[in-house]
């Protein structure tokens, strides 16, 4: 039986970040990942442009990840606008109003993954078990026993799942999750725009579709298009020229003609909130704990917070020579992460549901909601504060 202090399941951005945050603790870590190391080292472009807050940038800087991303690939977000149908009214946020030079930054997901992978290379006490998955977890008083798909077995004082919102190890631990399937898919694609975007992001709730436009370096933008399944299939099947024209039409030529410059990627819209974030010698981080609907762009921001919160507690206990799987520490982690995420998770689902509803009462309500949000300074401040808040 191979014994380690910590097993992390999943070498996605959350699992890799947690691993990196435990560097220097003296703990031995086994990182178990389905994909091969060669794929993790050169992750493929997946269309996701991740909006990162000030606090997330700070966490990534402290882990030495931010510095590994080419600055030319990072796009500052200077303002944001939320629009409802064809109403001329829009809810706006601007960096200067918040006394910062940027509201946040957009970074391609595959570059975050690559930076996270690079940051753990050569880390003392770390071994990567790639190309395998976990097939069973047995809990025990002093350690949990893990069985891998190739038959190997590991004993760990603490097991952490970071294996996506559809986590199979969460289920192995008997932890359920509240799942909300929105019945729609989201397409993301990079396009070249004729007119400058001035680093403004748009969220545009049309009556038949939801659109977002994320400003990327130069004259490129990421179009984020939410549609019911049949219309999505039609969009997927279009050739590049027709797709460009259709997208230009969706955005009413506000950025002039738009031409695709990258591959199209489609994601199902399912929000997930685990019933518990901890169990016996066990914790959940990243999307495995909280899988957000992308409309408020908070998934990985929460992922970074979760691993930072857990790592801080584990590092503290390890430094004092304590038990890194102790229940009181895990309960503290669970409480903290629930408090930090639950309100925004619920608010995000409510927004997504309201703006996916085309019936007249919902149309009226969403117009009213935007106006109310505009008029109520604390609400605007809450959203802007979420983006620009720094770590304590």
Quote the least distance from Cβ 294 to ligand FAD, whole Å: 4
Q: Is 108 a binder of ligand FAD (CB under 6 A)? A: no
Which of 303, 318, 324, 383 touches ligand FAD by CB under 6 A?
A: 303
- Give 269 or 317: the residue with its C-beta nearer to ligand FAD: 269
Among the listed ranges 48-56, 61-69, 80-88, 173-181, the one in contact with ligand FAD (CB under 6 A) is 48-56
Which of 257, 267, 262 has the alpha carbon at shortest distance from 232? Answer: 267
> Measured from the CB of residue 327, what is the shortest distance to ligand FAD in angstroms?
24
Report the run of H or E that residue 134 belongs to, with start and end.
strand 134-138
Whole-angstrom distance, CA of residue 173 vs CA of residue 339 = 23
Check residue 43 for interaction with ligand FAD (CB under 6 A): no
Helices (H), the chain: 13-21, 37-41, 54-62, 109-120, 168-172, 229-237, 240-250, 299-319, 327-355, 360-375, 377-388
Which residues pair with residue 256 across a beta bridge? none
State in angstroms the smallest separation of the CB of 328 from ligand FAD.
25
Cα 123 to Cα 27: distance, rounded to the nearest angstrom: 11
Residue 274 touching ligand FAD (CB under 6 A): no
What x/- string results for residues 227 through 246 when contact with ligand FAD is judged by CB under 6 A?
--------------------
Cα angle 273-276-278, degrees, rounded to a multiple of 5: 130
Nearest to 106 by CA among 232, 213, 253: 213
Residue 167, C-beta contacts closer than 8 angstroms, at least 6 positions apart: 10, 161, 274, 284, 287, 288
C-alpha 139/C-alpha 279 separation (Å) is 9
At which residue do the structure tokens 């699992």 appear?
15
Does residue number 334 form part of the binding site for ligand FAD (CB under 6 A)? no
Q: What angle do CA 196, 199, 200 make, to 5 degrees?
A: 100
Nearest to 106 by CA among 218, 184, 270, 186: 218
Closest distance of CB 164 from ligand FAD, Å: 3
Count of residues that bind ligand FAD according to CB under 6 A: 33
The residue (of 15 and 215) whose beta carbon lies closer to ligand FAD is: 15
| Residue with Cβ nearer ligand FAD (215 or 286) | 286
What is the three-class DSSP state of 158? strand
Q: Least distance in Å: CB of 332 to ligand FAD?
A: 21
Site string for ligand FAD, 132-151 (x = CB under 6 A): -xx-----------------
The answer to the question of residue 282 lying near ligand FAD (CB under 6 A) is no
Q: In the complex with ligand FAD, which residue's Cβ is closer, 7 or 317? A: 7
Burial of 94 (0-12, 13-18, 19+ CB in 10 A): middle
Chosen residue from 19, 28, 109, 305 binding ligand FAD by CB under 6 A: 109
Binding residue (CB under 6 A) for ligand FAD from 12, 244, 271, 325? 12
- Interface residue list for ligand FAD (CB under 6 A): 9-15, 32-35, 48, 50-51, 109, 133-134, 162-164, 168, 186, 188, 267, 286-287, 294, 297-301, 303
């Amino acid at each position: 039986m191979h014994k380690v202090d910590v097993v992390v399941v999943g070498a996605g951005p959350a699992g890799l970040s947690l691993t990196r945050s435990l560097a220097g603790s003296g703990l031995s870590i086994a990182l178990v990942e389905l994909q091969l190391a060669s794929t993790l080292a050169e992750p493929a472009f997946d269309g996701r442009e991740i909006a990162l807050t000030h606090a997330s940038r700070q966490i990534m800087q402290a882990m030495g990840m931010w510095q590994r991303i080419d600055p030319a690939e990072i796009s500052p977000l200077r303002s944001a606008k939320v629009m409802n149908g064809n109403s001329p009214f829009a809810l706006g946020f601007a960096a200067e109003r918040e006394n910062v030079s940027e509201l946040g930054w957009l970074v391609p997901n595959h570059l975050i993954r690559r930076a996270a992978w690079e940051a753990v290379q050569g880390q003392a006490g770390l071994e990567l078990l790639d190309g395998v998955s976990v097939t069973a977890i047995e809990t025990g008083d002093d350690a949990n026993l893990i069985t891998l798909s190739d038959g190997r077995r590991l004993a760990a004082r603490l097991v952490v799942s970071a294996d996506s919102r559809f986590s199979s190890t969460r289920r192995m631990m008997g932890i359920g999750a509240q799942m909300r399937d929105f019945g729609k898919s989201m397409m993301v694609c990079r396009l070249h725009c004729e007119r400058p975007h001035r680093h403004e992001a748009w969220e545009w709730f049309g009556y038949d579709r939801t659109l977002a436009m994320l400003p990327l370096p130069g004259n490129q933008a990421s179009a984020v298009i939410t549609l019911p399944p049949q219309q999505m299939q039609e969009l997927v099947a279009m050739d590049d020229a027709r797709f460009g024209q259709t997208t230009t039409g969706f955005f009413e030529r506000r950025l002039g003609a738009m031409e695709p410059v990258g591959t199209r990627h489609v994601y199902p819209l399912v929000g997930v909130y685990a019933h518990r974030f901890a169990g016996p010698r066990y914790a959940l981080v990243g999307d495995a704990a909280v899988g957000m609907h992308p409309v408020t762009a908070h998934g990985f921001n929460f992922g970074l917070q979760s691993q930072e919160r857990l790592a801080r507690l584990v590092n503290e206990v390890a430094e004092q020579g304590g038990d890194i799987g102790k229940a009181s520490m895990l309960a503290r982690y669970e409480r903290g992460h629930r408090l930090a995420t639950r309100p925004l998770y619920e608010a995000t689902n409510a927004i997504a549901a309201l703006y996916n509803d085309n019936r007249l009462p919902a149309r009226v309500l969403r117009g009213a909601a935007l106006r109310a949000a505009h008029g109520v300074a604390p609400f605007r401040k809450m959203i802007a504060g979420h983006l620009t808040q720094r770590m304590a």
